[in-house]
């Protein structure tokens, strides 16, 4: 297995007397596509929140690229190369697809001084995702599958080393899941990212990931 870019050890999250995450271990290295499976309510998204700094674990350790980020703020995880998507795509519905990706670039500090250069980066990402024809369209008018791809594009704008995908198959047809999974594998292959995909549909993950953690 490749050297871990992301390593979680003994992660526990408690909310009062409720144990949402109970002693989870996970490693993911560059170029790996790892699946995390569990039924609804099993704490998968809560675990993802710890991997991106949104929730501080009650116990355990989180390492990104060899650095201990346990208890650090989300922007520190982002600075160390962690990007994520959400169960419901968080896109700016009234903004164009290109503007959404450009926002991701600017948020990550990648937008260049001249707007033309930032536009070029955004369009390159859209082309990589097969969304170049949607560049000028409002994100809210895209299909759910294309909104999910757009959110992935916003995450890629940060040039992450670790990409966290939260139930990207939810609400998609079989054909759309196939196409999305193929693109995620291309992202993994061409960009060398560690990709972690959580999903409650076991068959979906088993068909596409390298291994299930």
| pTM of the predicted structure, to 2 decimals | 0.90
List pLDDT tens digits, range 120-158: 688 999 999 999 999 999 999 999 999 999 999 999 988
| pLDDT score for 2 | 65
Query: Regarding predicted confidence, which is higher, 126 or 110?
Result: 126
* pLDDT of 112 above 60: no
Q: What mean pLDDT do residues 86-93 have?
A: 92
Mean pLDDT within 73-90: 92
Helices 115-128, 144-156: crossing angle, 10 deg rounding: 130
Within 10 angstroms of residue 172's Cβ, the number of other Cβ atoms is 18
Task: Give, rounded to a whole angstrom, the gap between the first and last alpha carbons of the chain.
Answer: 13
Give whole-number Cα distances, 198 to 44, 83, 106, 137, in Å.
7, 14, 27, 29
Residue showing tokens 């790996």: 32
* Whole-number pLDDT of residue 120: 61
Cα gap 143→146, rounded to integer Å = 5
**Rounded distance between C-alpha atoms, residue 156 and residue 199, angstroms:** 20
34 and 195 Cβ atoms separated by less than 8 Å: yes
- Tell me the fold of 1-81+163-173+194-213: Rossmann fold (3.40.50)
For the packed helices 115-128 and 97-107, what is the interaxial angle rounded to 10 degrees? 110
Average per-residue pLDDT for the chain: 89
Residue 24: both structure tokens together: 């989870």
The string of DSSP codes covering 26-51 is EEEETT-EEEEE--TTSSHHHHHHHH
> Is the confidence at residue 1, as pLDDT, over 80?
no
Quick check: 207 pLDDT over 90? no
Per-residue pLDDT at 117? 54
Q: Which two tokens stand for residue 107?
A: 């948020």
Do 4 and 27 form a contact (C-beta atoms < 8 A)? yes
What ranges do the domains of the chain cover?
Answer: 1-81+163-173+194-213
């Amino acid at each position: 297995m490749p050297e871990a870019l992301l390593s979680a050890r003994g992660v526990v999250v408690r909310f009062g007397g409720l144990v949402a995450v109970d002693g989870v271990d996970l490693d993911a290295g560059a170029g790996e596509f790892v699946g995390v499976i569990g039924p609804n309510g099993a704490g998968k998204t809560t675990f993802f929140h710890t991997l991106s700094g949104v929730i501080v674990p009650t116990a355990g350790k989180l390492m990104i690229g060899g650095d201990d980020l346990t208890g650090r703020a989300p922007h520190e995880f982002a600075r160390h190369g962690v990007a994520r998507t959400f169960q419901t795509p968080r896109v700016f519905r009234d903004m164009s697809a290109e503007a959404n990706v450009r926002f991701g670039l600017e948020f990550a500090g990648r937008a260049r001084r001249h707007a033309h250069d930032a536009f070029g980066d955004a369009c390159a990402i859209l082309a990589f995702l097969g969304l170049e024809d949607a560049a000028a369209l409002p994100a809210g008018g895209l299909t759910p599958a294309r909104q999910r791809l757009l959110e992935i594009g916003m995450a890629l704008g940060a040039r992450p080393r670790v990409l966290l995908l939260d139930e990207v198959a939810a609400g998609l047809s079989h054909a759309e899941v196939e196409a999305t999974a193929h693109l995620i594998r291309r992202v993994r292959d061409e960009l060398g990212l560690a990709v972690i995909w959580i999903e409650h549909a076991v068959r979906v993950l088993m068909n596409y990931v390298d291994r299930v953690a």
